[in-house]
Structure 1
Amino acid sequence: MEKDELNKSANPRQTSKNADDKAQESFRQNASFAEKILAEEGIFSCQGGEHDIRKLARERIEGMLNAEHLLPLPLEEKQHVGRSGINQWIWDHKISKDIAPDILKEYLESCISNNPWYFYVKLKAMTELQVEMCRFHKLPALSLTSDHFLQSEALQHLAARFATSKVKKLIVGFLQERSEALGLLEEKAPLTHVRRQGKKVHPRAHEYFEQLVKEGISKDTQRHFLEHAHHLFSWLSKNMRDFNGIEADEIPIFQITATHLEEFRAYLLKKVREGTYSKITFCHCIYLLRSFFRFLSRKYGFPAPIRRFKAITAPRYKQRDLPSDEEIKLFFEAVDTYSDEPIIERIGYSLMLFLGLRLNETAQLTWKDINISTGTISILSKGGKPHLLPLPKRVLEDLKSAQRQQPSGKYLLGTNLKTIALRLYRNFKLYSLIAGWTYPGGVHFFRHIFISRLGGQNILPQAIKELSRVVELNTVSLYMHLAQQKDRLLTEINKLQY
C-alpha cells in the first residue's frame, strides 16, 4: 500500500533507478526501423517481425502530430471582448431567439450580471422549463405565454416535477412571487416541493468514487459507478442469505465472495434477456464493479473476487460525429475572444486536442514538465505511468509566449489543481456554445477527436496506442471512427502480434 502511495505522488520528471519507473521517451530515435514499420502500404502493412512501436523515429512522430490537417486553421484576428462579454452573447444569440415568454426573459435579465457559467446553467434550466410547460399545457413552445407559467396548477406541477435542483427551485420561487403579486396565486400558498431522498452510499464505494474524481474521470462514469454499486449492494441485501437484514450501505465488503458476484451476474444476464438491460449497460456495470474491487484489492490487500465476474460480447463503440477543421477554428476563436487568459486556456485545450491529454493530466502539468529547448512534455498518465512526448509546433509557440509573460502559478495553467480542471471543463461548454457546437459530452471529447484523427492517417494501431497512452490496443478501436463502417479495424487488430 505504501509503495502504491509513493508511486502516485511521484513526479514524472523524477527518474528512478528501477527501469519500470523510468520516464522513458515514448518514441526513440531509430529512423530505419520507423521507415520499415510505417511503410506507405497503410495501417495494416506490417504482418510480421518486430513491433516495438516505442522505437519509432522522433521525427516521424513529430510529423504525425504536426500534420497540417491535425492542427487548427489560422485564426482570424478579432477584437478581444473578455469573459464579461459572454452573458451578452448568450442573451443576443440564445435567449432572444429561444426563450419566448416575457416572464422568463425578465428572470434571466435580472441574472445577466451572474458568473457566465451560472448564467449558462440558468439558460439550460429555462430551456427545460419551457419543455416541461409544453408537456403540461399540451401546447407548442411558440404558443406559451407568461400566464401559462403563473397559473396555480402549473406552479404546483413545477414544484412537484421540475424543482429538483437549487437553480430550478430559485426559478419556481421567482414565478411564485410574480403569480402572488398578480393575484393569480393565493399569497404564501404552500407549494409541494419534491423531497428526493438520496441513496445512501456505501463507505467503500465512496472511497472509489473519490478516486474517480481525483483522476478526472467523467461525471457520467462517476454517477454510473454509484448507481451500479448501489444496485449490487441492494441486490445482495435482498437476495443473499449471508446479508439478510443488513442495509445496503452497511454490507461487509470483504465478505462478498466470487459466488455472490456470479449470482449477481446471472441476475443481470436475466435482465438482458428480458430486455430490461442492454448488453452495453451490462458490460459497463461489470467493468465498473471489477475496477472497484481491484481498487479495494490494491488498497486493502484482499483478493478481488472477480475471476469469473466477466462481461459479454457487446458493441462498446457508439458512432460519434466529429467537428470539422472550420468548427475547431471557431472554438479557438471563441477562446481568443472571450477568455480573460486566452494564451493559457488555448494551451490547455490545445494539449487535449493535439496531444490527447486527459483533463486531469492537463490540469496537473507544471512548467518543470515542459522542456522548451527540446520541444517535449512530460506527462503523468492514468495509473501513474510517465511518458515523454514531443510537442506539436503550434502548442510549442503558445508555450513560448506564455513563458515570456513570466508565469508565477504552481501549475502550468494556474495555482489550484481543482480550479484549473473545473475552469477548463466549464469554459469548454461556454466556448462550444459560442462556436455553435452541438456535440454531446464534455472536454474529454477533444481526446476522441485526437485519436480519431490519428486513425485517419493510416498509422499503425500500436503507434496510436502509444501516442494516446491507452493500456489495451483493443481500446484504439473505440476511437477509430473511419474503420467502423466495415468492422475491419477490430478484426485486423485482433490479428496483430504485439
Structure 2
Amino acid sequence: MQNQDTVQLSLFDFNFDKADESGGIENLFTEKDMSLFGKGRKGWYENDISRKGFSEKRIKMSSFGNYVNGKNSHLIESWMDDMIEKMYDLNLNVKQNSLESRNVNEWLYANIAKDLLDSRFVKKFMRTKFGSSTRVYNLNMAMFEKVLTKMEELTKKKSGELERSDFLNTEYLTNVVKVLSSTELKYYQSFLNSLKPFTKIRLNDYVEKIEKIKFNHPLVRVVERVLKKERNIKPESFINNYYNSVQLFVNWAINTLVKFQGQSVNTFIFNMVTSEDLDDYRSYLIQQVKEEVLAEITAKRNLQYVRGFFQLLFRKKKIVKEVTTKLTNIETDEYFYRRLPSDKEIQDLINTIGCYSSDPVGDKLALSLMILMGFRGCEVARLSWEDINFSTKSISITDTKGMDAILPIPSKVYALLIEYKRSNEKKYIFCADPRMFLQDLRLLFNTYQLIAGWDYGGGLHLFRHIFVTRLIMHCPPQIIKSLTRHISDDTVAKYVHLERKFVKNELNKLSYTGGRIDDF
C-alpha cells in the first residue's frame, strides 16, 4: 500500500536533493537584492503559501542560502531549469535564421485576405502593403471587411462586382465613413488615393464632426483616489475594471432612463440612481449576454465593479442611500475548460516565429516570458531593463493588481535576454510605448498562431493558462502561488486545464486498493 509521502511525491515529482530545512525559495533574495529593485517590493515571502500546520511528513523544502549569487546562484538556476525541463520539451533556437517580416503579410493575404476581401481593387491594394507591419496589415484587413460589407449594402452588388466609381461615389462615401474609426479613415484615405492618384478626395470632408467627451466625472476620480490609497490600485487596473464598467453604466442610464436624459457623462447625478435602476441594469446585462454581445463573465464582473463603485460612494458619504443591498450578482461559472496545445504544437509555433518574424529573438523572448514564466501580455509590454538583475538572474515585476514579486529567470529565458540586449538600448525591453506595443503583440501572436494552425482562442492569456497548468503538473504545491503570483487557490484553479488521461493516471496513483480507475 502506498503511504501519503509516496503519493505526494508521485503527484509532484521534483528534485530537491540539495536542500536543507531552513526555508524555501522565498529566502533566495536579500534586503540588498530587494533594494536594487526599488522600495516596496514584497518578494517571495509575502506571496508564498503559508506553511503553518504542515505535517512532519511533508515534502522537505530547503533554503539555497541567503544570496542569489556566488556559490549558491547555481542552485536556483538548476532548480528552475529542472522544473522547466519537466514542464516542456522545447527548443527555442536562439540564433535561428529568419526570413523577412513581409512573409507574414504574404501568408495573411494568401490564406485570409484573398478570399475574405473579394474585390480586385482591394486585393491589388493589399498586395502593395506586404512591407507594412503585421499590425497595420491586420488593421487594413479588418477595415476593408467593414467597408465591403457596407458597400454591398449600399450598392446591392457583390464585392467582386464593385467598380472604381463605386468606391469614389460621394453618396456612398458619406455612409462608409460612419463605420470607420479615425485610424481606419487614414488607411481608407490611402486606398482612395491609390484609385484616383491625381484627384485627391479628402475623407475628412465627409466625416460628421462630433466632439468626443472624455469620461472624467468628479466622483469617479474620488473613487480612484480612495482605491489608490486603500488598496494601492494601479491606474491601468482602475481603468480596466472600475472606470470602464462605470462608464458603460452611465452611458446606459443616459440613453435608457428618462430621468437621466439631458445629463452628460461628466454631470451625471449618481445620487439619483435607485436600487430599481441597478436591477434594470442587471437585466440589461443579462440580455446582452443572451444576444452574445457580452460574455457571461464580462457581464458578471461589470456588475460587480458597478456595485463596488456605489458601495464606496455610500461609505464615503458621496451618496445618501445604500442602493446595492438588494442587488444580486449575475450567476455564471467562472471556470471553463480550455483545450491546450501539446509540446509539438508549441514547437510549431516557435518554428513559425523563427521563419516569419523580422525580430525572432525578441518575439521568442516575449513568448518565453509568457509560457515559461507566466507573464501576462501587459507585463511583457511594461518590462524594462531596469527590472532585470543579470547578476542574480532574477526579474522584478509588478502585476496587474499592483502586487510586486521577484522571479528567478530560467536559463532558456536568460539566454534570450542576453542575446536581445546586445542590440537593444530601449528603456522598455520591447518598445518605446507599452500601450501601443501590447496591441501589436496581440495581433502578431494571433497571426503566428494562425500560421501554426492553432485553434485554441484565448489570445495572449492562453500562454498563462498553459504555464499554470504545466506548473500544477510538475511543481511542488508549496510554491505554486509564488510562481503564478496568485493570492488565492481559487484563482490558480481557474487556470488549470488537466487532460482526462492525466487526471485518470494521477487518480490511479492514489488508489489504495490496487485497482485502476478506468471509468473516469
Instruction: Give the TM-score category using the shorter length.
Output: 0.5 to 0.7
Conserved in 1, the CA contact under 8 Å of 2:394 and 2:406? yes
**Change in CA separation of 1:400 and 1:291 when aligned onto 2, cut-off 3 Å:** farther
Q: Corresponding residue for 2:399? A: 381
8 Å contact kept, 1:80–1:338: yes
Which of 37, 42, 46 is the aligned partner of 1:13? 37
Work out whether residues 73 and 325 of structure 1, in 8 Å CA contact, stay in contact via their aligned partners in 2. Answer: no
| CA distance in 2: counterparts of 1:84 and 1:179, whole angstroms | 23
The change in CA–CA distance for 1:63 and 1:250 in structure 2 (over 3 A counts) is same
Report the counterpart of residue 160 of structure 1 in structure 2: 175
CA distance in 1: counterparts of 2:193 and 2:311, whole angstroms: 52
Is 1:263 the counterpart of 2:283? The answer is no
Letter in 2 for 1:101: S
8 Å contact from structure 1 (residues 101, 146) kept in 2? yes
Farther-moved stretch of structure 1 (300-309 vs 95-104): 300-309
**Structure 2 matches for 1:127-206, cutoff 5 A?**
127-129=145-147, 145-147=160-162, 151=166, 160=175, 163-166=179-182, 169=185, 195=208, 200-204=213-217
Secondary structure at the residue paired with 2:460?
Answer: coil
One-letter amino acid of the counterpart of residue 467, structure 2: F
Provide the secondary structure at the position in 2 that maps to 1:388.
strand
Tell me the number of residue pairs that the alignment of Structure 1 and Structure 2 aligns: 435
Task: After superposition, give the CA deviation of every residue in 1:180-229 in whole Å (9 maximum; x if it has no partner).
Answer: 99xxxxx99x9996859688554138868999995379989986663234
Cα deviations by residue, 1:429-473 (Å, 9 ceiling, x for unpaired): 44334434444454333223322333455864x754432223443
Matches of 2:330 and 2:391, distance apart in 1: 49
Q: Please, which of 108, 129, 134 is the counterpart of residue 90 of structure 1?
A: 108
- Please state how far the C-alpha of 1:125 moved relative to its aligned partner: 2.7
Unaligned runs of 5+ residues in structure 1 are 1-9, 40-56, 182-186, 486-498
- How far is the alpha carbon of 1:174 from its aligned partner? 7.7
Shift of 1:99: 4.1
Report if the CA contact (8 A) 2:254-2:262 is conserved.
Answer: no
1:228 matched to which residue of 2? Answer: 249
Structure 1 length normalisation: TM-score? 0.66
1:215 corresponds to:
236
Secondary structure class of the residue paired with 1:250 = coil
- Offset at residue 133 of structure 1 (A): 6.2
Assess, with a 3 A threshold, how the Cα gap between structure 1 residues 433 and 450 changes in structure 2: closer, same or farther: same
Matched residue SS, 2:333: coil
Q: Deviations over 1:36-66 (max 9, x none)?
A: 5569xxxxxxxxxxxxxxxxx9799737851
SS of alignment partner, residue 383 of structure 1? coil
1:244 deviation in Å? 7.8
Q: Find the partner of 1:401 among 410, 419, 425.
A: 419
Asked if 1:23 corresponds to 2:43, the answer is: yes
Return the letter of the residue paired with 1:14.
Answer: G
1:240-299 residue CA offsets vs partner (Å, 9 max, x unmatched): xxx68644431245x47xxx463333223445787976864541221232465688899x
Deviations 1:465-487 (A, max 9, x none): 432223443223332233899xx
Distance in 2 (CA, whole Å) between partners of 1:335 and 1:136 is 41
Deviation per CA, 1:160-195: give whole Å up to 9, x if none.
3674234655677688789999xxxxx99x999685
Q: Give the AA of the match of 2:382.
A: Q
Aligned in 2, Cα 1:419/1:166: closer, same or farther, shift over 3 Å?
A: closer
CA deviation profile, 1:336-373 (whole Å, cap 9, x unmatched): 34444432332223112221222332233333432334
Residue 4 of structure 1 corresponds to none
SS at structure 2 position matched to 1:450: helix
CA contact (8 A) 1:12 1:387 kept: no
Counterparts of 1:362-377 in structure 2 under 5 Å? 362-377=380-395
> Could you say which residue in structure 1 is the equivalent of 2:483?
467
CA contact (8 A) 1:345 1:413 kept: no
User: What secondary structure sits across from 2:300 in the alignment?
Assistant: helix
- The amino acid of 1:342's aligned partner reads P
Task: Provide, for residues 406-432 of structure 1, a one-character-per-residue CA deviation record: whole Å limited to 9, x for no partner.
Answer: 753323334544455454344334433
Counterpart secondary structure, 1:382: coil
* Conservation of the 8 A alpha-carbon contact between 1:336 and 1:342: yes
Question: Displacement of 1:116 after TM fit?
Answer: 3.5
The one of 308, 324, 329 aligned to 2:347:
329
Instruction: Measure how far apart 1:130 and its partner are.
Output: 5.0
Report the residue type matching 2:37 in the other structure.
R
State the Cα distance separating 1:122 from its structure 2 match.
1.0
Q: Contact 2:369–2:413 at 8 Å: present in 1 too?
A: yes
- 8 Å Cα contact 1:361-1:381 kept in structure 2: yes
Residues 209 and 225 of structure 1 are in contact (CA less than 8 Å); yes or no, is this contact kept in structure 2?
no
Any conservation in 2 of the 1:12–1:380 contact (CA below 8 Å)? no
2:460 equivalent in structure 1: 443
Distance 2:299 2:276 in 1: 14
Instruction: State the alpha-carbon separation in 1 of the partners of residues 324 and 79 from structure 2.
Output: 39
Matched, 1:480 2:492: no
- Name the amino acid aligned to 1:215: E
For 1:275 and 1:414, locate their aligned partners in 2 and report how far apart those are by CA, in whole Å. 37
Q: 1:368-426: CA deviations, max 9, x gaps?
A: 432334332221223332112222231122223335x2753323334544455454344
Q: Quick one: structure 1 residues 429 and 100, their matched pair in 2 at CA, closer, same or farther if it must change by over 3 Å? A: same
Contact 1:23 1:388 in 2 (8 A): yes
Match of 1:238 in 2: 258
Partner of 2:448: 431
In structure 1, distance between residues paired with 2:125 and 2:224? 36
Letter in 2 for 1:251: F
Mapped contact 2:43–2:405 kept (Cα < 8 A): yes
CA RMSD of aligned residues (A): 5.3
Distance 2:307 2:361 in 1: 41
The counterpart of 2:266, out of the listed 235, 242, 249, is 249
Q: Cα deviation per residue 1:290-336 (whole Å; 9 max; x = unaligned)?
A: 465688899x9969968635524322234444333333223333433
Write the letter of the residue equivalent to 1:228: F
Give the conservation status (yes or no) of the 8 Å contact 2:250–2:265: no
Distance 1:274 1:14, change over 3 A: closer
Secondary structure of the equivalent of 2:465? helix
| Equivalent residue number for residue 508 of structure 2 | none
Q: Secondary structure at the match of 1:311?
A: coil
Q: Note if contact 1:65-1:355 (Cα within 8 Å) is conserved in structure 2.
A: no
Amino acid at match of 2:268: I
Deviation at 1:106, TM superposition (A): 1.9
TM-score normalised by L of structure 2: 0.63
- Distance, in Å, in 1 between the alignment partners of 2:350 and 2:182 is 32
Q: 1:395 to 1:416 in 2, by over 3 A?
A: same
Q: Percent identity?
A: 21
Tell me how far 1:117 sits from its aligned partner: 1.9
